[in-house]
Amino acid sequence: MSNTALKINDSLSLKIKRKLEGMTGKSFLFNAREIRINSFQINDDLIIVAADKDIFTWSSDEALDRIREFMPIEKESEIDSKDLMVMPDRKQLTSLKDVIMDNIEQVKKDRTYVQQANAVNKSISTLINVANLELQYIKMFKKQ
């Protein structure tokens, strides 16, 4: 092997090593599966990556391209539940209660208002369903 080839190979190995060091201990999405990188080893032209669910073996020529296929996954500790919530604040909840009570009063006074009241109530039900879905999502993350 020439000195030039050795330098290129060493440079490539160093780049691969740095990438894999940054990935070790973290979770990624790879081929539609969640994978956690546990360790790796670089031997001459062979790269071996040990994950929790698989072992990957690549040549140094293909390693960087394969590493790029690993998509980082944010874990619950990295996700702020405030980012998930579209739940109305106290002021908005009071306003929603007022709208519901107003609808009840309007329907009592005027039966033709029923259709409009149903549309408003359907929107409020949708908002409640979204909030329930968000709560389930947060609970799911806390279990993991």
Q: Report the chain's mean pLDDT, rounded to a whole number.
A: 78
* CATH T-level assignment (fold) for domain 3-73: SH3 type barrels. (2.30.30)
Q: What is the pLDDT of residues 48-86, one digit of tens each?
A: 999 988 899 999 889 999 999 999 887 544 445 555 555
Of 87, 80, 76, the C-alpha closest to 133 is 87
- Statement: residue 2 has pLDDT above 50: no
- Tell me if 50 sits within 8 A of 38, measured CB to CB: yes
pLDDT at res. 8: 41
- Tell me the mean pLDDT in the region 89-98: 75
Tell me which amino acid residue 144 is.
Q
- Rounded Cα distance, 124 and 97, in Å: 10
Q: Give the pLDDT of residue 22.
A: 93
pLDDT tier at 6 (50, 70, 90 boundaries)?
very low
Q: Which pLDDT value is given to residue 137?
A: 75
Which ranges in the chain belong to alpha helices (H)? 3-23, 60-68, 81-84, 90-109, 114-143
pLDDT at position 85, please? 53
Please state the domain extents for the chain: 3-73, 78-143
pLDDT tens column, 25-49: 999 988 888 889 999 998 878 899 9
